[in-house]
Chains A and B, each alone.
Chain A
Amino acid sequence: MKKRPSTHSGHRFPAWTLGLLGILLLILVPVLYFLPSAQKTNDPAAYLPVQAIHVDHSDIVKGEFETGQDVTRACLECHEDAAAKVMATTHWTWESKEFDVPWRDEPVTIGKANQINNFCISAQGNQKRCMTCHVGYGWEEYEEYDYTIQENVDCLACHADMSSYVKGEYGNPAEGVDLLAAARSVRAPTRDNCGTCHFDGGGGNGVKHGDLDESLYFPNEALDVHMGGENNMLCTDCHWTEDHQILGRMLSDNYTIDPQEQVSCEQCHVDQKHGDERIDTHLAAVACQTCHIPALALEDPTKTYWDWSQAAQEGREDDHFTYLKIKGEFTYERNFAPTYLWFNGDNEYRYLLGDPINKDGVTYINKPAGSIADQTAKIFPFKLHIAKQPYDTINNYLLAPITAGENGFWTTFDWNSGFQLAEERMGLPYSGQYGFTETYMYWPTTHMVQPAENALQCDSCHGDNSRMDWEALGYPGDPIKWGGRK
């Protein structure tokens, strides 16, 4: 112990720093190891797409625009392939891809272009009005639409500020629209662009969907936790869009839907559980929507029943919500429980023009696929729209009247003229005899999602006050006592 002290002059750091480091490590490593780690959270908001800031086009867009096509040509100067991309979508074709369905020999397509629903029944032959929601210009009833003309793509419908742009007859810009102002306002689509057609589908606010209506323009959190909540989400936050291909498919316009093409809660709610094993066990049989959309049409009412047979009554007073001479009798409902069915995402059946109706009961316009035995199916909420609509009593199929225009039903109030006109335009033979039959159309509900504190509770479905018809769903009885599906 008598050796001369070394001076550490050769070292950049004195030796004791090594000891200090050792001590710090000895302390920190065990502490960090044992400290209760914060629960990993899967923040759904982290999965939201980053919306790029759109370039302000007000200084870019120049020039006199006489027609919508002029605008599109201008757009295509820079966005060369945009029209081609849009033309590959159903927003343009109004027709699905081809499906093989068991009740037809030939593959079929489904869409507004060629099939009917149980609201206004048919867009075919009624292009004058219906095409205000087509993403193109100049689709008229008398001639075959040419789907290949790029300049007919209506860029403004989805990209213009909707305070500056309105579509009119045959999908052309409405008269008086300042196309230059509209073109200069373009940006990424907002709720307004989508809502103009999708909130007012069926001809008015909230007619078609029980979960999409104009209340969603400015929703509060209690109406829609996504669009009204702190994230203030846009349609495109869930309907992810790439090359104008928008994620999400409408059940009634398809036969089967590839899950890859459908919007799902799991896009953002990845591995998110409820912190409650009992609730989590439901996930095998119950869709998210079932509990988190406890009621439909929370603010604005939606149409649940439409009786065309009552149309054309002379002298009966019109009322938007109960009776219109041109349309018949309706029922609108608000804040009501959905109809629950097993649903695997597909249709079991979609009525195709010319299909025979069920003379002994209800004819389904569409019937969601799934049953208790289908392990891919979950209990899912639907808006059921019931209609009484015309059919050909001889040919035994549903008819699609032409309503608007000269000789249309709304002009003549004579069903025969509407059906004869349809025979001319659509080629659907009319025997001259018609009746009315009840049809069901199911609309899946996925909007107006509620946060946990407003979701269904156990007693909503189980026990004496149940909203579920367990036996109709295929259970022997309330699964809380009889057990879930095996």
Chain B
Amino acid sequence: MKQYTFFSLIGLLLLAAAIGFGTVLAAPEPAPVSQASALHPNFILLDADGVNVLESGNAVSTMLTCGQCHDTEFIAAHAFHSDLGLSDYDSASVTFDTSNGLFGQWNPLTYRYLSPAGDENLDLSTAEWLMLNGARVVGGGPATTSRGGAALTDLSVSKSNPETAILNENGSISAWDWEASGTMEMNCFLCHLETPNNEARVKEIEAGKFGNANTATLLGLNIVRKTGSDWAWNTEAFNELGEVNSETLRIQDPTNSNCAACHGEIHADETPLTINACDLDYPQTATTGQVVSAQRINDSGLNLSAKNDITRSWDIHAQRQLECTDCHYALNNPAHASEAQGTNPSHLLYDPRSLEISEYLERPDHNFARGESAQFNVAPEYKGTMRRCENCHDYSKGHADWLPYIETHMDAIACETCHIPQMYAPAIQAYDWTVVTTDGSAVETCRGVEGDPNAVTSLVTGYQPVLLNRTNIDGDSLLAPYNLITSFYWVYDDANGSRRPLRLVDLEAVYLDNGSYAADIVSAFDANSDGKLSDAELVIDTPEKEVLVREKIAALGLANPRIEAITQPYSINHNVTQGKNAVNDCKACHDADSRISQPIKLADYAPAMPHFDLDNNVNGSGEFIIAEDGALYYQPKPENDGMYVFGSSRVSWIDWLGALMFVGSLLGVLGHGAMRYLAARKMPHGAAATRRVYMYDAYRRFWHWLQTTTILILLVTGVVIHRPDIFGAFSFRGMVTVHNVMAVILGLNAALALFYHIATDRLKEFIPRPYGFFDDAILQAKFYINGIFKGEPHPFEKRPDSRMNPIQKTTYFMILNVLLPLQGLTGILMWGVQKFPVAANLFGGLPFLAPFHSLIAWAFATFILVHVYMTTTGATPVEAMRAMVTGYEEVDVHEDKDEG
């Protein structure tokens, strides 16, 4: 039980260190200086046999070395970075994806297909997968364990098994001996050393010497040297107990630089930032343009358009000294425990029960808190475990002083949508694997840069992410920013009838002949007839080219070759900026060229129409569009996701119908008016007998004109809100406020007027009398189409107690009982989407309410037009209007009906 003693010793050391730490906290001066964790003791480096490497001279075993104190078995078993989809591996999968991780999920960018056992043609074997992807494989999982769960070294070597074979460049297959190559344990050093030698590690992996990879990580730290194929341990780096000094190794919590080794560009020092653009060795940066750096963008070394004015830092969180692990922490880290527990009783705000630090250090969960990105599907059970924006920030405070309808906005838009308004580094746009270059890569295009993304002379323009609706784990649907990458590639049906991507070796056989393009390919593709093929010429844009390539593939004995394409969303969550640089102009979205409906270019030319990758949480509800120049675009369709954005969304038939109604009425009254004018000229002049009547009392006039004003303002502001693109001079926000205030005034005015009419019994004036209604209405209508031109008197006398004719009564009855309430109701519901969205949703939400509101507004506009015209039919054209101002009207004398 030697190990037990050792364990206790380490435990004591940890305790002593912890007490020391406590003392430091109690007396803040002087502070610990060292960068590396002072907690970590010196330790013995063990080889795979458990012998001190100083004695054996062998490669180090991380699992045994770190396993002296930490439960490395637990760690390896709780680490999706290590598993990479192995535990999800399903060779029977009908799609290209045999798992949800790097090991098995087919990535059209890296293209090579991890062959399941029993495939007709071997493409990527486990060993070659490791060689190609090893730079981003931390070890353990598929680097040590077979798909069946046995150790790779225990597999019987057979070249018919994709786990123990390798495809040679010439297309032949050899066996792979894992005993000889060694396997790659989970490499603790890679993430826990300040300066791991990743370059040396990757070199060993690419050479297929997996057993050397972890030891190579220590090269250059003055601990070990490589002499030939042997390891020479530097005894001076070890103490008399045979322990390596942890200060020499600088064991530490993972820093941003450690994460950067695999994930993308992270820049931590003051030198001007330069990046490797569209380079899959920096996957996050390549696929999205995300760069994690505190540096101001204008201080960086990129040849970025209008750079001097971009004074924000690349990432505000990096600027504010957050580290990757602050959000992506170990799930059982006691410092973050309360966040990790989602199962607290609802009354409990904080649960103090968590692991002791020593327990945590023994068994730190290496399943890290993660988000819900579209591109990473491994360990889906941990999606949404990380600390997101809202876990740290209270949006209601940050936006309170300027953003109206905060809840409505937050319910529809992810924080990133406004706070990552623009990407300032290039990102991959398309990979065309229907062709291949002489160095065996696809024809790649990059967005956000003019020319070669890595040439210093290329102008980087950056790009605006496309906004797509995604569905979160909690069921919320939010607009969030994405890059879209489209890949084109050949597929065929193998002997088993399985659809497979064309192997790279076959693609090269089709296009290349001894490393240069085959003669028939050159003659078909050489557009400028210079005998050479440039990347621009490598495109299958004619049926002839496609037929040629298809036939050449078929000639290799591959059945049914055809081109497929996929468009994949890549989430953008980093490169966040603070409010003043975020989208904070209403019209950015509430306008005709709204951000939410901006199309994004996918490819200059589409050899095939892609399908949207739906194996993620993004709703691919938009459309693929081929522009006139043949370029392929993706057009988001927010309305397909049930979004209605004022100023941007419109239902065009509603507006056409409304306009038709309005213009029709306009033509009608103009025609009618013209005829009246002509008829009046023929008629004998002479004042008809009129008398002066006090028609409208003061309150009547008051509520009428108040209503007139509010309705007119409502119509005007409504139009501006509806079409901010036409009325750009107005502040969108101001118009919304005025509209809402007017609506309230109109509502109050209408209610008071109703009260007045009920209280004074005048309401009956507005109610059409059923008896003889149609006769009267027809009489009135006949007057308008006939009698009015002949100077006949109005069929019904306008009297203070009966001022309206039957048609008027009907019209007002409809307006007051149907249109006004409907308009008020839809308006209130629309306003209420932030306070009581349930109510609006009962009626179909904004996508129904808003167009309906517009339609009624058209009806109101039409009414006002006709109403104003009808007032001219009084004793003189302006008499009725004057009466509504002064109260007194000259009305025709009706002898027979005069009550005297």
Question: Contact residues of A with B, CB < 8 Å?
Answer: 1, 3, 5, 14-16, 19-20, 22-23, 26-27, 30-31, 34-36, 275-276, 278, 452-454, 457-459, 462-465, 470-471, 475-477, 480, 482
Contacts and interface: CB of A to CB of B under 8 A. Distances in A.
Contact of A453 (B296, B693, B713, B733): B296
Contacts of A470: 31
Contact of A14 (B270, B319, B580, B886): B886
A476 B29 contact: yes
Interface stretch (B740-748, B810-818, B830-838): B740-748
19 contacts: A1-B693, A1-B800, A5-B694, A16-B701, A20-B705, A23-B702, A23-B705, A34-B740, A35-B738, A36-B402, A36-B733, A275-B579, A278-B320, A452-B311, A454-B311, A458-B294, A459-B318, A464-B35, A476-B28
A135 to B, nearest CB: 42
A36 B320 contact: no
Interface string B28-72: 111110010000000000000000000000000000000000000
Contacts of A465: 268-270
Nearest to B269: A465
Interface string B886-899: 11100000000000
A462 to B, nearest CB: 5
Contacts of A26: 706, 745
A19 B745 CA distance: 16
Nearest to B28: A476
A114 B62 CA distance: 72
B573 to A, nearest CB: 20
A34 B741 contact: yes
Given A31-B741, A465-B269, A477 B32 contact: yes
B451 interface: no
A145 B692 CA distance: 103
Contacts of A5: 692, 694, 888
Nearest to A466: B321
Interface string B579-599: 110000000000000000000
B495 interface: no
Interface in B124-153: none
Nearest to B707: A23
Nearest to B692: A5
Interface string B684-698: 000000001110001
Contact of B738 (A15, A31, A278, A462): A31
A34 B298 CA distance: 40
A36 B734 CA distance: 7
Given A1-B694, A16-B885, A465-B269, A34 B28 contact: no
Nearest to B397: A277
Contact of A458 (B321, B738, B741): B321
Chain B interface size, under 10 / 10 to 19 / 20 to 34 / 35 or more = 35 or more
Contact of A457 (B294, B694, B706): B294
B305 interface: no
Contacts of B269: 465
B706 A23 contact: yes
B806 to A, nearest CB: 22
B311 A453 contact: yes
A331 B402 CA distance: 53
B38 to A, nearest CB: 13
B301 to A, nearest CB: 17
A455 B509 CA distance: 58
A458 B319 contact: yes
Given A27-B709, A278-B320, A22 B702 contact: yes
A22 B699 CA distance: 12
Given A5-B692, A26-B706, A26-B745, A35 B734 contact: yes
A462 B294 CA distance: 11
Contact of B698 (A19, A35, A457): A19
Given A1-B800, A459-B321, A480-B321, 20 more contacts: A3-B694, A5-B888, A15-B698, A16-B701, A19-B702, A23-B706, A27-B713, A30-B741, A34-B737, A34-B740, A36-B734, A452-B311, A457-B319, A458-B294, A458-B319, A463-B294, A463-B321, A465-B269, A471-B29, A476-B30
A457 B319 CA distance: 7
B31 A476 contact: yes
A459 B694 contact: no
Contacts of A471: 29-31
A168 to B, nearest CB: 46
A480 B546 CA distance: 61
Interface string B716-743: 0000000000000000011001101110
B818 to A, nearest CB: 26
Contacts of A475: 31
A457 to B, nearest CB: 6
A36 B268 contact: no
Contacts of A23: 702, 705-706, 709
Nearest to A274: B580
B7 to A, nearest CB: 31
Contacts of B404: 36
B198 interface: no
Nearest to A275: B580
Contacts of B28: 476-477, 482
Nearest to A459: B294
A35 B579 CA distance: 22
Q: Which 8 A/B pairs are nearest by Cβ-Cβ distance?
A: A476-B28, A453-B311, A459-B294, A477-B31, A463-B321, A476-B31, A1-B800, A30-B741
B578 interface: yes
B417 interface: no
Nearest to A462: B321
Contacts of A276: 578, 580
A5 B269 CA distance: 89
A275 B398 CA distance: 11
A463 B887 CA distance: 78
A344 to B, nearest CB: 21
B313 interface: yes
A464 B293 CA distance: 13
B710 interface: yes
Interface in B409-460: none
Nearest to A24: B709
B737 A36 contact: yes
Nearest to B799: A1
B268 A464 contact: yes
B742 A35 contact: no
Contacts of B294: 457-459, 463
Contacts of A476: 28-31
Nearest to A457: B319
Contacts of B31: 470-471, 475-477, 482
Interface string B552-588: 0000000000000000000000000011100000000
A480 B321 CA distance: 8
Contacts of B737: 31, 34-36
B885 A27 contact: no
Nearest to B886: A16
Nearest to B580: A275
Given A16-B701, A20-B705, A27 B296 contact: no
A31 B738 CA distance: 6
Contacts of A16: 701, 885-887
Interface in B856-900: 885-888
Given A22-B702, A23-B702, A482-B28, A30 B321 contact: no
Nearest to B738: A31
Contacts of A31: 737-738, 741-742
A16 B268 CA distance: 73
A480 B320 CA distance: 9
A20 B801 CA distance: 25
Nearest to B698: A19
Contacts of A30: 741, 744-745
Contacts of B692: 5
A19 to B, nearest CB: 5
Nearest to A477: B31
Interface in B373-405: 402, 404
